[in-house]
Structure 1
């Protein structure tokens, strides 16, 4: 049953706090499951049920699901309160045993956590070091790979330049070799021409020698003929002078021979000089071409060596890339296993934290219930001993709810009543004194219990209910 207003009338001389209404307010709206204990006599068949209480700030209303047995009291209240006290004591004993079990469980969880955490942390540290080493190696490998790629690109560019130069030089070499072959053919032709001229000179010299010899023989023969002849004077016309004629002929032939010899000599010397000059020029060109060919051959060999070196670097780069890929695959697999282990351990840790939070929540709930029950038991014990409740100090129950109880005085009461939300009077009692009126706005279930306790105490000690 839901109650929103509990009121009773006070006289003018008994106004609390200058006639202002007492209210207990909360800072937030919250729904709490507060357990209650009920059962048979002597604590047998004791059960725990929860009652739902809605708290609302600054509303001035008090809602609670309370059974009629919590408000309408039985006939024998002393025995009922004694029975309730026994049941609460049993419940507190159970709470203490649960606290001990909870502390033992927390201790076991802490020990297990410490044991496993040490191993895990040490493993994590080794894993982290391994991961850092692998990351540094991977970074170094990436850097080395980038350097190799850059070197390969530079080598490719240099190889392309060298290839172009090599092709140009090869074309130049082929043209030079063709020129050299042409010059060699020219030299051979000149050598043949020189041989022919030498043979012609020898023939001319032999012919000159032969002509000289014939001329000398003929001159000698003519001299002998002239010297051995007899002078016979004949009366006749004078004959021709043969000696002068022969002398003239000889002189003419000698001049012609000398002229021919001189011309042949000059022509031969000119040809020899031209050939020598041409041969010297060709020899110099040949030496230069040979030197250039030697230089080109050396450059070609050096370029071939560099090209071979670059090809070796490319093959080494391919092997390094294969090794790097294999290493990355192996370490990726190991890293995946480590991450799976970390994920599994994190899941276990989250489960442990969830269990610990559930245990802490249950422990806080049980501790809150224990505190409330201890307060109620103390109130019941004071009521059983016949003490009057003068005042109850303000007490904090939890971080989100606060119980406030205000000083009360038992005044001569004429009438008590409880009203529901609809305004229906649920319980009414009459007394012989002045009328008392009090508006109660509460955020805790203990205020209703204390109000009921006040009514019980007032009835037991003063008047009693019909």
Structure 2
């Protein structure tokens, strides 16, 4: 939308005619969905001699937002006419600046900045794509140049691929060999484990036998102590009986001597008391000797039997201790062998894993290079 105002003035006088017109214009005093324009135009022509017929003044117009006001009056030759004034034109114009103009300008600036940034990024992308295009063109030219030596490269790559395949087959053979060795080691470990369990069972049985033998040895020792106590008691009893026998014998001798005196006094018969005493003494001594011999023989037999039993148990105990120490040494040796076998198994498993990893990496590398070669050959 636009508004315009024009003022034109023409005058003529005397022996010539003249025309004066003037004008000025401005645009975009403020912009809020519409525009206003005020313009004046004019000009001046030099006077020329001629016929004078008068002067004239012609119209003034103003238009805002599609509506306009105007007035005009012409002066005819021969006199000054009355000027008519339109009162509506004397009303002050509302030429205030819109408060939203700054916000709109800021939005326009932001939009311009964003568009500039997008345009700069687009330019960068275009430059990058141009560089990529140049790189691709260079690669394409190099590949075109390499097509000449295509036939010379194929045997080399075929030899490399065959070498990789041989290495892969060798790694497969090593894997089978290591797998068989691992299986053999696992069987050996299982065998040693079974033997170790058997030795553990034997050790447990030997410990139980040792406990039983210890109980028997303790019982034999207690029997020995009891028999020693009984021997001491019998010895004391024999000594007591001997003392008693000697006391009775002395008492009997005293009685016999007294009786002999009495008999010698009262009776004149001659009695052989010495023989009687000797006979009784012999009988008592025989009884004491037999008792002593029986006690000594019984004690000696029991003592020898206890010694034999203790020696036998001692030998059994010594043999059991020797067997237990031998089993302990064997168990320690088996432990060390099992540890070494476990270490060997771990090292073999590590070697197998490394070989598998190297084989897989070699296969992947060979496949990647083969794919690259195929792509290069196809291109």
Q: Is the 8 A contact 2:150 2:377 kept in 1?
A: no
Deviates more, 1:266-275 or 1:237-246: 237-246
* 1:335 alignment counterpart: 366
Q: What is the alpha-carbon distance in structure 2 between the residues aligned to residue 316 and residue 341 of structure 1? A: 37
Q: What is the alpha-carbon distance in structure 2 between the residues aligned to residue 157 and residue 278 of structure 1? A: 47
- Displacement of 1:189 in angstroms is 1.0
Structure 2 unpaired stretches of 5+: 1-140
User: In the alignment, which of 309, 316, 328 is matched to residue 340 of structure 2?
Assistant: 309
* 1:161 alignment counterpart: 191
* 1:178 alignment counterpart: 208
User: In the alignment, which of 318, 324, 335 is matched to residue 293 of structure 1?
Assistant: 324
Q: How many pairs align? A: 238
Q: Is the 8 A contact 2:171 2:359 kept in 1?
A: no
Q: Is the 8 A contact 1:141 1:324 kept in 2?
A: yes
Q: What is the alpha-carbon distance in structure 1 between the residues aligned to residue 153 and residue 282 of structure 2? A: 131
Q: What is the alpha-carbon distance in structure 2 between the residues aligned to residue 162 and residue 134 of structure 1? A: 41
Post-superposition CA distance 1:175-216 (Å, at most 9, x none): 333223222211211111111111211222222223333433
2:261 counterpart SS class: coil
Q: Cα–Cα, structure 1 residues 204 and 333, in superposed 2: closer, same or farther, change >3 Å?
A: same
User: In the alignment, which of 200, 203, 207 is matched to residue 230 of structure 2?
Assistant: 200
Q: Cα–Cα, structure 1 residues 331 and 151, in superposed 2: closer, same or farther, change >3 Å?
A: closer
Q: Cα–Cα, structure 1 residues 120 and 277, in superposed 2: closer, same or farther, change >3 Å?
A: farther
TM-score by length of 1: 0.43
Q: What is the alpha-carbon distance in structure 2 between the residues aligned to residue 122 and residue 289 of structure 1? A: 83
* 1:344 alignment counterpart: 375
Q: Cα–Cα, structure 1 residues 325 and 164, in superposed 2: closer, same or farther, change >3 Å?
A: closer
* 2:135 alignment counterpart: none
- Displacement of 1:217 in angstroms is 4.2
- Displacement of 1:342 in angstroms is 0.8
Q: What is the alpha-carbon distance in structure 1 between the residues aligned to residue 212 and residue 283 of structure 2? A: 48
Q: Is the 8 A contact 1:162 1:303 kept in 2?
A: yes
1:251 aligns with 2:292: no
Q: Cα–Cα, structure 1 residues 239 and 136, in superposed 2: closer, same or farther, change >3 Å?
A: farther
TM-score by length of 2: 0.51
User: In the alignment, which of 144, 161, 165 is matched to residue 174 of structure 2?
Assistant: 144
2:203 counterpart SS class: helix
RMSD of equivalent CA atoms: 3.8
Q: What is the alpha-carbon distance in structure 1 between the residues aligned to residue 281 and residue 187 of structure 2? A: 86
- Displacement of 1:220 in angstroms is 4.3
- Displacement of 1:343 in angstroms is 1.0
Q: Cα–Cα, structure 1 residues 144 and 340, in superposed 2: closer, same or farther, change >3 Å?
A: closer
1:185 counterpart SS class: helix
Greater RCO (CA < 8 Å, at least 6 residues apart): 1
Q: Is the 8 A contact 1:152 1:310 kept in 2?
A: no
* 2:299 alignment counterpart: 268
Structure number with bigger Rg: 2
User: In the alignment, which of 166, 189, 195 is matched to residue 219 of structure 2?
Assistant: 189
Q: Cα–Cα, structure 1 residues 240 and 158, in superposed 2: closer, same or farther, change >3 Å?
A: farther
User: In the alignment, which of 274, 292, 312 is matched to residue 281 of structure 1?
Assistant: 312
Q: Is the 8 A contact 2:161 2:370 kept in 1?
A: no
1:270 counterpart SS class: helix
Post-superposition CA distance 1:342-390 (Å, at most 9, x none): 1122113xxxxxxxxxxxxxxxxxxxxxxxxxxxxxxxxxxxxxxxxxx
- Displacement of 1:234 in angstroms is 4.2
Post-superposition CA distance 1:221-276 (Å, at most 9, x none): 55566668993544459698776555444333322221122112222222222333
Q: Is the 8 A contact 2:185 2:345 kept in 1?
A: no
Q: Is the 8 A contact 2:182 2:345 kept in 1?
A: yes
Q: What is the alpha-carbon distance in structure 2 between the residues aligned to residue 217 and residue 119 of structure 1? A: 143
